[in-house]
Amino acid sequence: MDPCVMVIDDDVDIRETIQDLLELRGYHVLVAGDGANALAELKRGAHPQVILLDLMMPGLSGEDFRAQQLADERLADIPVVVLSGARGVDEAARRMGVESLPKPVELDQLMQTVNRFRQR
């Protein structure tokens, strides 16, 4: 089975860009436009190796999503990488106990990070 990555971002271009790039490199990619849809997808049984999470989204924000994910023990172990252009992305990631990639990210950097979780 292909390694799986979930991209949660309210910007459709970013979702599709990352989806295309990762799929070209052999990943199965799940996409969600906000935290609530992503949680619903995960609760239906999806279990990606890593979630790329935007912070500022309408509805359920990145931090709220992370809190609800941690509250569900079946989902709590899925690693999250914050991918955001918001100010204070490093501090937010530290608060959430996850790593971060600032937008605009380098393709190399994105692939290195995702590959790291594939090997786990």
Q: Which residues bind other proteins (CB under 8 A)?
A: 11, 13-14, 16-18, 20-21, 24, 56, 85-88, 90, 103-108, 110
Nearest-approach distance from CB 45 to other proteins, in angstroms: 29
Q: Which residues contact 21 (CB under 8 A, 6 or more apart)?
A: 107, 110
Task: Determine the length of the chain.
Answer: 120
Nearer to other proteins, 79 or 88 (CB): 88
Nearest-approach distance from CB 9 to other proteins, in angstroms: 9
Phi, psi (degrees; rounded to nearest 5) at 26:
90, 20
3-state secondary structure of 48: coil
Q: What is the CA 61 to chain-centroid distance, rounded? A: 12
Nearer to other proteins, 42 or 51 (CB): 51
Nearer to other proteins, 28 or 46 (CB): 28
Nearest-approach distance from CB 21 to other proteins, in angstroms: 5
Residue type, position 13, single letter: D
